[in-house]
Amino acid sequence: MYFLRTALIFGLLFVFAEAGQLVHAETLQDLTQALSVKNYTKKAAVVEKLAATGEVQANTILSALMDGALFTRKSDGKIVLGTKIKKNYLLVDPVDGTELGEVQKSALKKVRINNKVRIAIRAGIGRLELTSADPEKRISAAAAIFKSEAPAMLPVLRALVKSEKNADVKPALIRSVAALELLYGDNHDVQMFAVADLKAAGGPEVKALLNKVLINLQLNEPAQNSELAAAIRSAIAAIETQLETYGLIENLFQGVSLASVLLLAAIGLAVTFGVMGVINMAHGEMVMIGAYTTYIIQETCRIYAPGFLDFSLIVAIPLAFVVAGTFGILLERSVIRFLYGRPLETLLATWGISLILQQLVRTIFGPTNKEVSTPEWLSGAWEITAGLSFTYNRIAIILFALVVLFFLMMVLKKTLFGLQMRAVTQNRMMAGSMGIRSARVDAMTFGLGSGVAGMAGVALSQIDNVSPNLGQAYIIDSFMVVVFGGVGNLWGTLVGAGSLGIANKFLEPYSGAVLAKIFVLVAIILFIQKRPRGLFALKGRSVEG
């Protein structure tokens, strides 16, 4: 009996000792050190254990491993986090953050990973972020697990779905659970419910997953899985219909976005063409000047006031208006005022000026495209649902174009300058006999139209390349908008820009960008044969004459 009791005590001590060693082996420091193992399968297992600790520092370690910032120190084999400083590397303990000095690159060996380990890292980071207080991080983590298809995450996700209260996060978790249950579940009813959940979630990623599962079912015992395969086909068909609808909505959004760009580019042209009857082929270069003004302001902020960089676009709007408007007034006073009544000579002169301005910009800034960064508050997209999102910069351009149109209409309707401009438009000789200085009105009108074109350049810098040829891409479309809508009529310009922009975007998927423009041009030519003055023709004695 004594020997039995002694053996039992020693046995329990051995078990506790083994348990203590296991606990010690699972500490964050030892798991980090275990990443030095050469076998990638074992390394992926260590990554999963690191993620299972739930420690905040584990996220940093896994992110550093993914970014190639973890190294083995050759002198003692310790895993360290290395940051390159000039020719050396500053070493930090990845667990407690203790600085370990600087060494040369030759003293380190990078901890290497393969695709299997990368998948494990993404799933691990996703697991750690699933419990984050930030809902956006939880959504991103659920999406990462959906892509990684890590079966080990299924129990964790099931528990989180039950406890999640956020209405935006829960659908993302349900989608990931359904994907894992469909891929790795062995219960037919559970898989059928998973297909239903994925069908409700929709989106191109879900469609790709369902197609993959369907192919596997058809290759492995198709007769046994016929009901599940039929449900998957039905879900794929429903998602395809959904995506087609979303495609139409996105085409409409892209059309409105293009229309807003055309409106900004054409609205200044509508004013100058309507009041002065001048075909200004240098109008596109006013757009270019506005874009380069934005570039100069951003570069100035980047060098002298980096903290102000996100607000540089707001400052660029009035400055682009002033710079481009000043160029416009100088152009009218120096060249165009001597060519009134000679439209062909005006066209040739302004075309020559446009070439001079393009070459001037090439000489100053070079022929290559210039980068104009998008502010943080305009970056990203508004995701309505899976497969349907609108970018913030294009939404901002649409709103900006409408605001510019509104203020321009207020200027024309509510100010003395606007009254004089409308008088000159309708009957120049009568306006002159009433004491209106038509030459001054012409100069200010040209400045106003050019200034609006400069603001268009600010908007275009967010969605197009800033280059000397920027304005040339929009000048022909701008003239088409003005002629189609009605010369000098702002409402006509709005309707014309909207019609051309939406028509272009709906034709492009079927005919291509070039043919779409040709079809639109032919349609406008045919329309002008019936209505030579456009949709909304101005009325007045000089106009009608």
pLDDT along the chain (545 residues), means of 10: 39 36 58 86 86 78 86 87 84 84 86 86 77 81 82 81 86 89 85 89 88 83 74 90 87 86 82 73 89 91 84 90 92 85 83 90 87 82 79 88 88 85 76 79 86 89 85 80 74 82 80 77 79 64 43
Q: What pLDDT score was predicted for residue 14?
A: 36
Q: What pLDDT score was predicted for residue 321?
A: 93
506 and 450 in one domain? yes
Q: Which residues contact 153 (CB under 8 A, 6 or more apart)?
A: 123, 126, 127, 145, 176, 180
8 Å CB contact between 336 and 447: no
pTM for this model (two decimals): 0.69
Alpha-carbon distance of 65 to 197, in angstroms, equals 34
- CA of 152: how far to CAs of 126, 178, 487, in Å? 12, 14, 67
Domain interval for residue 152: 135-224
Q: What pLDDT score was predicted for residue 221?
A: 63
DSSP state of 328: H
Q: Which residues contact 404 (CB under 8 A, 6 or more apart)?
A: 264, 267, 452, 455
Q: What pLDDT score was predicted for residue 292?
A: 93
Is residue 56 assigned to a domain? yes
Is residue 536 assigned to a domain? no
Q: How many domains would you assign to the chain?
A: 3
503 and 449 in one domain? yes
Is residue 482 assigned to a domain? yes
302 and 161 in one domain? no
| Domain final position from 191, 224, 257 | 224
428 and 341 in one domain? yes
Q: Is the dihedral of CA 96, 101, 102, 108 positive or negative?
A: negative
| Domain final position from 170, 190, 224 | 224
351 and 214 in one domain? no
399 and 504 in one domain? yes
Q: Would you tell me how many other CB atoms lie within 10 Å of the CB of residue 252? A: 13
Is residue 240 assigned to a domain? no
3-state helix, strand, coil split of the chain in percent (to 5) is 75, 5, 20
| Domain final position from 192, 224, 256 | 224
Which residue is it, tokens 């254990």?
Answer: 49
401 and 293 in one domain? yes
356 and 436 in one domain? yes
149 and 31 in one domain? no
Q: What pLDDT score was predicted for residue 356?
A: 92
DSSP state of 151: G
Is residue 229 assigned to a domain? no
Calculate the CA 32 to chain-centre distance: 37
Q: What pLDDT score was predicted for residue 26?
A: 62
524 and 493 in one domain? yes
Instruction: Select from 453, 459, 537, 539 the least CA-distant residue to 495.
Output: 537
